[in-house]
Each structure stands twice: as structure tokens, then as C-alpha cells.
Structure 1
Amino acid sequence: MIKFQGVHKEYDNGFVALKDIDLTIEQGEFVAVIGLSGAGKSTLIRCINRMHDISSGSLMVDDVDVSKLRGKEIRNLRRRIGMIFQSFNLVSRISSLKNVLVSFVPEMPFWRKIFGLYTKEQKIKALEALDRMNILDKAFIRVDQLSGGQQQRVALARTLAQKPSIILADEPVASLDPVTATQVMKDFQKINEELNMTIIINIHHVDLALEYATRVVGIRSGEIVYDGPSSEVTKEILEHIYNGKLEEELSAN
């Protein structure tokens, strides 16, 4: 479970990104965070795995106060929380399989890291993750020879291989064409349903958010202005979230 209580985030330049956020997300939910650029969407999800520190309030992940973690404790937290980025964060000159195997590096003995020696069990887990994403046939293909959608699936497989309980996704379909973006959202939905994994996705594509996520959190100027089932989101609610700039947002996507 993830629980924000009175969370406030102010950057060093004085910009207030989050204002007194109260939010509880249960295990197994699929949550889409929507709102205008600069509304605080990325900041919200990046606080969960301590990519950003909160300024005040309390942020709990499975009854652990994230803000109080230090050093190795933060690294252990991040092992349980997968992170998917818009840019995929893959090593383009190596194969899909080797990119997935990278997920095991933090837990490997130093000598194995130096020589890149992975165990048979790790290789099997990596291949299983690629298979789950229907991309096993690309295991030995260099990532720079894959399409954008295939690269995002490799990134998802790498995250699945570390067996997290939570996946955070920061604009994972922003650089993809509409057909590929839809397929990637279906992949997230499949992971959520089959593995009961919590998915929290920051997304600009309103239509995809409403179709695939079960819950929508709308943020405007650092405040939550809507939190409820995606099925209950109306055009009026969207206009409120987007501060009257809904059509502008839709045309941009």
C-alpha cells in the first residue's frame, strides 16, 4: 500500500510542485495520473521511490516511511519498485536479453559484476520476462534494431525480472505512435491483472488513461482535484482537471 498524508514538495527555486497531498493506493490498483504539463504528475510518482524527496508530510510504502530511509535502505526500496521511463533507459548496443539481465546487477557479488557473469537462474528469469512480454524471439537482437514499441517491452521485461510489487511509469507511451501506445497500455493492463501488481502511470493521453486504468487521479497546480474510477470521469471533470484547457491538451496529443 502507498499512502500520502499531507505531502508537500517545494523545490530549491521556490516552486511548489505538490500541495498537501492525501492519497492512498492499495496493492493491485491500476492508477493513471493525469493533468497539464507542470501540474505535478511526475513529481508525485517520483516521490514514491525517492527519486524526489518530499518537503513535509508523510509518505508510506508498505508501512515504511520512505522519507526516513537512507543509503542501502533506499536501494532496497527501489528493488521493490520498478520504474519505466519515456526514453526506455536501455543500452542500445547490447541485446534485449542482456538489457533484462542488468536488473540483477545490484544484487550480484562484486566479482560477478566485474566479469558480467550471470547465473543460469538469472538467465532463465530474464528469458521468462521477455516471454511474458511476447518478445522472446528478440532476446538476442540488439536493442537499437528494435522498434519503439519493442524497446518499451524490453524495458517492461527488465522491470518484471526484478519482481517488483509496484511499477511506476513516467510518460511511457509519449514517444510512441498511437497503435504501439495502445499495445503498451494493454501490456500494463495484462501485468496488472495477471500479477496483481500495482501500476501507477503518469500519462498525457487522456483516452488511454480512461480506457485502461481503473482509477484516475487528476492533478492541477500541485493539488488533487479528482480521485475516482475512470468509468465515472466526465468531460466536466476533465475540464476541471485541465483548468479549461482540455481541447488544447487533446490536440497536442
Structure 2
Amino acid sequence: MIEFIHVDKTYANGTAALRDINLRIEQGEFVAVIGLSGAGKSTLIRCINRMHEITGGTLMVDDVDVAKLKGREIRRFRRRIGMIFQSFNLVTRTTVLKNVLVSFVPELPYWRKWTGIYTREQKIKALEALDKVGILDKSFVRVDQLSGGQQQRVALARTLAQSPDIILADEPIASLDPVTARVVMDDFKNINKAMSISVIMNIHHVDMALEYADRIIGISQGEVVFDGEASKVTPEILQHIYGGQWEGEKHD
């Protein structure tokens, strides 16, 4: 369970990115965060795993006060939270399997880190993660030989291998074509339902958000201006979230 209690985030230059955020996200929810660029969507997501520090209020994850964690506690806490980026963050000159195995590096003894030798159990877990996203057959292919969609699925498999309770996704389909984006969104949905992993996704593709997410959080100028079921979102609500600039999404 994730709970924002009067959370504020102000950057060093004085920019107020989040203002008095109050949210409660239960385990197993699929939540899409939408709004204009610069509205505070990425900041909201990145506060959950302490990539950004909050400057006011309280942020709780399963009764843990995130802001009070220090050093090793933060690293241990982050093991429970997978993070998916738009840019994939993969090592493209090595194999798919090796990229997934990277998720185990924080828990390896030093000699295994130096030698790059993983346990049999870790290798099996990595292969199982690749199987869950449908690219087991690419295990020994170099990442730079894969399409963008396949690379994003490698990133998702790497996250799954660490057995997270929560997956945070920051614009995971922004650089993908519509067909590939749908395949990746199917993966997120299947993982969310089959494994009861919470998914909180910052996304610009509103039609995808409404189709795949159970819940929509609309952010405008750092404030939550809508929080409700995806099925309840109307064009009028979208106009409100997007400050009157919503014109609908255009498709070829």
C-alpha cells in the first residue's frame, strides 16, 4: 500500500512540483498518471522510490516512512520497487540474459560481482522472467539486435526478476510505435493481474491509459485534479486535467 499524506515537493530553484498530494494506492492496483508535460507526473512516481526527496508531508509504503530511510535501508527498500524508464537503460553490447541478471548484482558477494558468475537459481529466475514477457527465445541475443519493443520487454523482465511488489513506469511506451506499445501494455496488464504487482505508470497516451489502467490520477500544476476509475473519465474531465488544452488523440 502506498499513501501520500499532504506531500509537497519543491525543487532547489523554488519550483513547486507537487502541492498537498493526498493519495492511497492499494496493493495490486493498475494506476495511470496523466497530465500535461511538466505537471508533476514523473516527480510523483519518483518520490515513491526516493529518486526524488519530498519536502513536505509524509509518504508511506507498507507502513514504512520512506523519507526516514537511510543508507542500506534505502537500497533494501528499492529492491521491492521495480523502475521502468522510457530509455530502457540496458547494456546494448551484451546479451538479453546478462541484462536481466544485472538485477541480482546488489545482492551478490564481492567475488561474484568481480567474476560475473551468477548462481543457477538466479539464472533460472532470469529465464523465467524472460518467459513471462514472451522473449525467452532472445535470451542469448545481443540487446542491440532487438527492436525497441523487445528492448522494453527486456527491461520489464529485468524488473520482474527482482520480485518487486510495485512497478513504477515512467513513460514506458513513449518511444514505441502503436502496435508495439500495445504489446508492452499487454505485458504490464498481465503481470499486474497474474502476480498482483502494483503498477503506477506515468503516461502521455491517454487512450492507452483509459484502456489498460483501473484507475486514473490526473495531475495539473502539481496538484491532483482527478482521481477515479478509468471508466468514469469523460472528455470534460480530460479538459479539466489538461487545462482546457485537450483536443483528443489523433491517429493515422
Measured after TM superposition, the shift of residue 2 of structure 1 is: 0.2
Q: Does 1:222 align with 2:208?
A: no
Structure 1 CA distance, aligned partners of 2:246 and 2:171?
Answer: 18
Residue correspondences, number = 252
Q: TM-score, normalised by structure 2?
A: 0.99
Measured after TM superposition, the shift of residue 222 of structure 1 is: 0.2
Deviations 1:56-107 (A, max 9, x none): 1000001000000011111011100000000000000000000000000000
Tell me which residue corresponds to 1:241. 241
**What amino acid is aligned across from residue 57 of structure 2 in structure 1?**
G
**What amino acid is aligned across from residue 170 of structure 1 in structure 2?**
D
Tell me which residue corresponds to 2:140. 140
Q: Classify the secondary structure of the residue corresponding to 2:226.
A: strand
Structure 1 CA distance, aligned partners of 2:82 and 2:177?
Answer: 24
Residues 1-150 of structure 1 mapped to structure 2, 5 A cutoff: 1-150=1-150
Q: Classify the secondary structure of the residue corresponding to 2:75.
A: helix
Structure 2 CA distance, aligned partners of 1:77 and 1:10?
Answer: 23
**What amino acid is aligned across from residue 73 of structure 1 in structure 2?**
E
Tell me which residue corresponds to 2:167. 167
Residues 183-222 of structure 1 mapped to structure 2, 5 A cutoff: 183-222=183-222
Structure 2 CA distance, aligned partners of 1:152 and 1:131?
Answer: 14
**What amino acid is aligned across from residue 132 of structure 2 in structure 1?**
R
Structure 1 residue runs without a partner (length 5+)? none
Measured after TM superposition, the shift of residue 128 of structure 1 is: 0.4
Deviations 1:153-198 (A, max 9, x none): 0000000000000000000000000110111111100000000000
Measured after TM superposition, the shift of residue 250 of structure 1 is: 3.2
Measured after TM superposition, the shift of residue 251 of structure 1 is: 5.1
Structure 1 CA distance, aligned partners of 2:182 and 2:130?
Answer: 19
Q: Classify the secondary structure of the residue corresponding to 1:77.
A: helix
**What amino acid is aligned across from residue 235 of structure 2 in structure 1?**
K
Structure 2 residue runs without a partner (length 5+)? none
Structure 1 runs of 4+ off > 3 angstroms?
Answer: 249-253
**What amino acid is aligned across from residue 182 of structure 1 in structure 2?**
R
Q: CA RMSD in A?
A: 1.1
Measured after TM superposition, the shift of residue 252 of structure 1 is: 10
Tell me which residue corresponds to 1:250. 249
Q: TM-score, normalised by structure 1?
A: 0.98
Identity of aligned residues (%): 71
Q: Classify the secondary structure of the residue corresponding to 2:199.
A: strand
**What amino acid is aligned across from residue 250 of structure 1 in structure 2?**
E
**What amino acid is aligned across from residue 249 of structure 2 in structure 1?**
L
**What amino acid is aligned across from residue 54 of structure 2 in structure 1?**
I
Structure 2 CA distance, aligned partners of 1:78 and 1:125?
Answer: 19
Structure 1 CA distance, aligned partners of 2:207 and 2:135?
Answer: 26
Deviations 1:142-161 (A, max 9, x none): 00000000000000000000
Structure 1 CA distance, aligned partners of 2:231 and 2:218?
Answer: 14
